[in-house]
Amino acid sequence: MEFRSLGKFDDGGAGVFWSTQCGPSPWEIHPAGDELLHVLEGEVDVEVLPADGGEACMATVRSGCFLIGPRGCWHRQYIRKKSSEFYVTPGQTLHSQSEDPRLNV
């Protein structure tokens, strides 16, 4: 997995991400705002954990499609095949390797 920053956006940034390896990314959360993801190439499954403790939801995002990562919700990606993405993230990004990071708050 590799990231390339393209510029600052509020306290966060915009950039590109790409991976040739399949599998899950670490959990991440953005307390300050929604994150925009645009899959440029490939296909990913994005799992979102609702902040209210509800059941996780999963969405498949294919090349050319967008996804909004909701503010305050932990989410991670399962890379299905070689992928690249453009992202805009306002504010800080926190990461977790926990099975359910909502339990560690």
Q: For residue 87, what are the β-bridge partners?
A: 15, 37
- Per-residue pLDDT 10s for the chain (105 aa) are 888 999 997 889 999 999 988 899 999 999 999 999 999 999 999 999 998 989 999 999 999 999 999 999 999 999 999 999 999 998 999 999 999 999 886
Predicted model pTM: 0.90
What is the reported pLDDT for 105?
Answer: 61
Residue 88 confidence (pLDDT): 96
Helices (H), the chain: none
Q: What 3-state class would DSSP assign to 102? A: helix
